[in-house]
Amino acid sequence: MPAAAFDVVMPETQTSCVVFASPHSGRDYPWSFMRKTVLNEHAIRSSEDAFVDQLFECAPEYGAAFIKAGAPRAFVDLNRARDELDPALIEGVRRIGHNPRVASGLGVIPRVVANGRAIYRGKMSLHEAEERIAEYWVPYHDKLQTLLDASHDRHGQTVLIDCHSMPHEAMDGVIRAGMRRPDIVLGDRFGAAASGDVVDRIESAFSSAGFIVTRNAPFAGAYITQAYGKPATGQHAVQVEIDRSLYMNEKLIRPNGDFEAVQVALRKVIQEVAKIGHGRVKLAAE
């Protein structure tokens, strides 16, 4: 089993109401898990948001909390509801309605990685699935909500920046003629997960740092933004998807020659976004 469900880095002084999170960058692949998969050590990482935690790890320097997953996405997907169980993978689970994510093999215990490649030869027991959820999914989400509650209590508002990466090819079907290819996709579930003021400020921070930004297409936000985005109560959630090709060799899963430059540019973004909690930006109630 992976060693830890999460790791939290807190600032010396929490001056920001922003909480940064990286739920898909976990890369602890223990032998007990690897011996159960038909994939090799490279292929199993294909759905991982590799190095995203390193890109955003400076957040505590600007007064914001930062939480990152320990367990990899192929082991348990923290951006799914705990009841998104896949009957094609887990014994004893009945199909209830139609869930496109589960049907495609991307439930809370994934059946496949990128490009639909199967992780396992057969099924797993419901007990094993529930054990993973209890030991990794629940602690991560409990801690995340604790961080958001503490931030809200301290500042009267809180903003979750849910950090992800997307394959370069993800935008192929979205680009229209004459449109510049976006580097960043911000997902706020079309306004349901965060106020327009918050998303405008985040988009401005990315644009000022030289990134091309779009919203909600093709990624509007999944479980985390849906569950934690409650702008009417002053709790905002915005998903950030960054094009992997900007900073890594997607085939080799290694940082490329631009990694440090992207990291420097993102530092400016993080610094600006963290200011939302400094009382310099008034967040709308809804």
What pLDDT, on the 0 to 100 scale, is given for residue 70?
97
How far from the centroid of its chain's Cα atoms is residue 178's Cα? Answer: 30
What pLDDT, on the 0 to 100 scale, is given for residue 245?
97
Residue 18 and residue 25: Cα distance in Å, rounded?
19
pLDDT digits (tens, 9 = 90+) for 13-30: 999 999 999 999 999 999
What pLDDT, on the 0 to 100 scale, is given for residue 30?
94
Is the pLDDT reported for residue 59 higher than 90?
Answer: yes
Q: What percent of the chain has pLDDT over 70?
A: 97
Residue 14 and residue 230: Cα distance in Å, rounded?
22
Strands (E), 103-234: 158-166, 184-187, 213-215
What value does the mean pLDDT take over residues 191-210? 97
Q: Which amino acid is at 99?
A: N
What value does the mean pLDDT take over residues 243-268? 98
pLDDT bin (cut points 50, 70, 90) of residue 177 is: confident
Q: What percent of the chain has pLDDT over 90?
A: 89
DSSP state letter for 47: T
Say how many domains are in the chain.
1
The answer as to whether 231 is a domain residue is yes
How far from the centroid of its chain's Cα atoms is residue 286's Cα? Answer: 23
pLDDT bin (cut points 50, 70, 90) of residue 277 is: low
CATH assignment of the domain containing 198:
3.40.630.40
Q: Which amino acid is at 191?
A: G
The answer as to whether 107 is a domain residue is yes
The answer as to whether 1 is a domain residue is no
The answer as to whether 11 is a domain residue is yes
The answer as to whether 14 is a domain residue is yes
The answer as to whether 286 is a domain residue is no
DSSP state letter for 161: E
- The whole domain housing 80 covers 6-278
* SS3 category, 9: strand
